Amino acid sequence: MKNPLKRLFCERALSKVKNGDMSGIAMLYEAMGSQMYTLAISILGNREDAEDVLQETLLKIQQRISDYDKSKNGYSWVLTMTHNISVDFFRKRKKVVDIEVLSDTEELSVTYPVDDKLIVEDALNKLDRTDREIIVLKIFASLKYKEISHLTGLSVDAVEKRYQRSLKKLKEYLS
């Protein structure tokens, strides 16, 4: 992960919530809100739905905090929950996916000028939903292949191959 402090901050936030201190939810949002939102939008393709999923995920974390095992990776636990809620939301809505992954993400607004964001967003839209999700999880959420495998239900080898193939496609689309 690019920022190990985020994982530590996430763990502390979850511990607070588990101990009944709901200020941990605000800490969690601060630590992971943009990653959760980016993951949700990569699945749903709709800002409003992604915001709803973000709120629902934070509520579910409060409700299911007793399921959280401190010996496990809290960061992955939160992203898994976000992923599952997003997929459920997508299935309920049965919408056609038109992903806008790069819009309004803090990490990318620093990295890319606005014109470049639109070009990259357009290139990402040419990938299928699973490939976009893998790219988002690897690059923007900084997950390892094993963690992405767990979230997507694909083998680690399949995730790694799809990631490499998707990056190659993105480079072709961008050139």
What is the model's pLDDT at position 117? Answer: 61
Q: Residue 2 has what pLDDT? A: 52
Backbone angles phi, psi at 101, to 5 degrees: -60, -40
94-108 mean pLDDT? 39
Mean per-residue pLDDT of the chain:
80
This prediction has a pTM of 0.62
Average pLDDT over residues 100-111: 39
Q: For residue 21, how many other CB atoms are within 10 A of its CB?
A: 12
**Residue 52 is encoded by which pair of tokens?**
């709803």
CA atoms within 13 A on the CB side of 80: 16
What pLDDT is stored for residue 82 in this prediction? Answer: 93
Q: How confident is the model at residue 115 (pLDDT cuts 50, 70, 90)?
A: low
Question: Which alpha helices (DSSP H) does the chain contain, by range?
Answer: 4-18, 23-44, 47-63, 74-93, 106-111, 114-125, 129-135, 145-152, 156-174
Q: What is the pLDDT of residues 118-171, one digit of tens each?
A: 677 777 778 888 888 888 888 877 788 988 888 888 999 999 999 999 989 888
Which pLDDT score is estimated for 102?
Answer: 39
Cβ pair 49, 57 in contact under 8 A: no
As a whole number of angstroms, the distance between CA 114 and CA 140 comes to: 17
Q: What are phi and psi of 94, to 5 degrees?
A: 50, 50
Instruction: State what percent of residues in the chain have pLDDT above 90.
Output: 30
What mean pLDDT comes out for the span 7-36? 91
Residue 96 contacts residue 29 (beta carbons within 8 Å) = no
- Rounded to an integer, the average pLDDT of 77-85 is 91
Spatial distance between the Cα atoms of 79 and 82, rounded to a whole number of angstroms = 5
Residue 49 has φ and ψ, to the nearest 5°, of: -65, -40
Q: Is the pLDDT of residue 113 over 90?
A: no
